[in-house]
Amino acid sequence: MTFSRWIRFWPRLAFIGGILVVLAGALFWTLIPDPDYRLKELLSFGRYHRYDAEINQAARRYGVPPDLIRAVIWRESRFHPDLMGTHGERGLMQITEAAAADWTRAEKIETFVPTDLFDPKVNIEAGTWYLRQALAYWADRDDSIPFALAEYNAGRSRVSRWVGAVDPANPTTAEDLVATMDFPATRRYLSAIIARYEYYRLRNAERATRPDL
């Protein structure tokens, strides 16, 4: 092919090449789990993994799965440590002053002030401690995680009311709990966190063989 013919043919080659790149990119995103999350994770420029060390430390200290802590943080704040909720919740795990007060009493922390909750390490420790208490309280259920998450979102008294609405002759299951909830927002909250928790667990299990995940 002469140079002049190559010049005339080049735009067509560039167009075809562009289409192939787009198709390859689309195929890549369809092959990975939850491509929407993966894209947001990439665009966060490391924010989604910035607090992994603090999460793992709190997980070891309180015996809570790190992927569950991570899923709660994702749902509560999308990993923004300076987030302030509409009811005064603060930080990564959106801790209230009342929950923080329970944590400081239990851990005998004397120098705490509410603004400390914007410190990622403090916030994750307080939130993980609170989650651990809820998991322990509902440990006799078929799956304590949905009960604990419902308590984290809506409070223990509401979860107890939902549990009480079920036939007392039969143990309340996680499925029963969801069915009796009269807070649609809490139902969505549970669904989102549990799905993300399973996503994290699956991805961690597959990373050994597929590092691109």
Q: Which of 47, 51, 194, 205 is nearest to 59 (CA)?
A: 51
Q: How far, in Å, CA of 147 to CA of 156, rounded?
A: 9
- Please tell me the distance from the alpha carbon of residue 92 to that of residue 118, in angstroms, as a whole number: 8
pLDDT tens digits, 26-45: 444 444 678 889 999 999 99
Per-residue pLDDT tens digits for 135-164: 999 999 999 999 999 999 999 999 999 998
Q: What architecture does CATH give domain 42-206? A: Orthogonal Bundle (1.10)
Q: DSSP label at 84?
A: B
Does 124 have pLDDT greater than 90? Answer: yes
Residue type, 107: E
53-109 residue pLDDT tens: 999 999 999 999 999 999 999 999 999 999 999 999 999 999 999 999 999 999 999
- pLDDT, tens digit (0-9, with 9 covering 90-100), for 193-205: 999 999 999 988 8
Annotated domain spans of the chain:
3-31, 42-206
